[in-house]
Structures are given as structure tokens and as C-alpha cells.
Amino acid sequence: MSVMALIAFPDISFLALLALLAGLLTLDDTSLAQTWFSQPLPAALLAGFFCGDPLTGLAIGLPLQLILAVNLPVGQSFTGEPAVATVAAVGASVLSGRTLMVPMVGAEPQPFGFVGWMVLAAGSLSALGHFLVQAERRAHTLWMLEGHRTLRDGNLDRMASLQARCLATTFLRGSLLVVLMLLFLLWAWIPLYQHLPLRLQQTLAILPWLLPGLGLGTLVDRYGRSRAWLWALAGLLLALAMFQLPGVLA
């Protein structure tokens, strides 16, 4: 796709749909419901489905999910902005006109360097988004201090209003941030890939293979081999069984 096509402003309805999805997934992180649809793989699949290209969502979401396996949405231990960054990466990839494949399957040569480039973008944007998440949490803390007045006057409507304000702020953060991230990826990050040296593109193709192993290793290191080896063994057996199915590696 030409550079002029990339810098064209995306369709408003497309941006609105992704903004709505990102806002809801941001709420799902820790503020509301916590269904875990905000984890990278489900978020990427949902974004790919709404963009009409679920395979691209799978190609980006699966490595990110394995990399961030230890980053569970449990209170203050949850870091970054992975759901929003994942939705932005999938949306920008689809808008760029690329159809991506999961790095572990497919006989024909695939642009795995570009997959690594987008995985790197999603991880970096998620890390940068953590500063905004922390600022919002501090604002929520200040707002909720007002709730102490309810202990004196019993006005429960105040608490409901404060909670609604916090939820609205979280939703707006996800909605606005995904648009900014998507435009940055579409207008700057993706066009830059075309100018990278071939050797660097080949190196980027390793990332979707290498980083998931490091993420799973971190998970084992945190929770201990005694607790994790059965899960690792079950995953290995499942992977081997999948490789025996016809068409998986074809």
C-alpha cells in the first residue's frame, strides 16, 4: 500500500467502533466485570473480528498473550495498557492493507518481520500508557477521598456519583488513547518499517518466537517450577498433538 494511502484519515465509523471496543476493554481490566476479554489474545481477536480480519488479530494477539502471561489484571500489580495497545496494533495493521498470519503456521513465506514490528509497537505503547494509567489512579484516589464525607452524612448518592466519574474517566482514557495510538502506528510506525534494513526486518521476525518463551519463563520463575511444570507439560503435549493434525503445518 502506498504511503499516501497510509496517511489518509481512517473512516470515522471505523475509529468509533475501535474506540468503543477499547473503552469497554479498558473498563474490563480492573474497573468493571473483569471477564478477561481485555487480555491481549481476546482483545486482539475481538478487534480483528470487528475489523473483518480475525487472522491478523490472532497473529498479533497470540505472541502478546504469551509475552504478557504474567501480567494479570489483579489490582495494582497490573501494569501497562495492553488492551488498548493491542486493539490499536490490530486496527492499524488491517488499515495498512496487510493480512497477517500466526508465525507458527503456514507453508508460504509470511511477513513475520512485520508481525514482530507490530508486536514491538504494541508492547512499547502499552508500557508508555502505564504512565497515564498511574496518573488516572492517583486522580481516582483523590476523588474517592471525598467519599469519606459519606461516613458523616450518609449520602450514598455521592459515592455512586464518584464511582460513575471514575468509570467514565477510564472509558474515555481507553477510547481516546486507542485513536491516538492507531494514528501514530498508521502514519509513522508502519511506514517506517518499509525503510528498515533487510537484516533488521529479519531480526524482527524472531521476536514472535523469542519473546513468548521469555514471558512464559518469567511466569515459571515467579510462581515456581513446582507449581508450573504440570501446566508447561500439558501445554507441550497439547502443542505436539496439534502439530499432528492435518493442515496445521501445511
CA–CA dist 28, 21 (Å, integer)? 11
pLDDT in the model for residue 19: 96
* Domain count of the fold of the chain: 1
The mean per-residue pLDDT over the stretch 158-185 comes to: 90
| ∠ CA 40-41-47, rounded to 5° | 85
Query: Taking the CB of residue 169, how many other CB atoms lie within 10 A of it?
Result: 15
User: Does residue 1 have a pLDDT over 50?
Assistant: no
Query: Is the four-CA dihedral 44, 34, 18, 183 of positive or negative sign?
Result: negative
Q: Could you give the CA distance from residue 71 to residue 110 in angstroms, rounded to a whole number?
A: 29
Domain assignment present for residue 155? The answer is: yes
What element of type H or E holds 47?
helix 40-51
For residue range 62-104, what is the model confidence (pLDDT) as tens digits?
888 888 877 777 655 567 889 999 999 999 999 998 878 776 5
pLDDT value, residue 224: 61
Q: How many residues does the chain have?
A: 250
Residue 4 above 50 pLDDT?
A: no
**How much is the pLDDT for 171?**
94
The owner of cell 455521592 is 158
Q: What percent of the chain has pLDDT over 70?
A: 76
Kindly state whether residue 26 falls inside one of the protein's structural domains. Answer: yes
pLDDT in tens, 8-21: 678 899 999 999 99
pLDDT score for 80: 82
Of 122-131, 141-150, 183-192, give the lowest mean pLDDT range.
141-150
25 vs 21: CA distance, rounded Å: 6
The pLDDT of residue 139: 83
Range of the domain at 145: 3-224
In a domain, 143, yes or no: yes
Per-residue pLDDT at 181 exceeds 90: yes
Average pLDDT, the chain: 80
Domain-located, residue 236: no
pLDDT of residue 247: 43
229: in domain: no
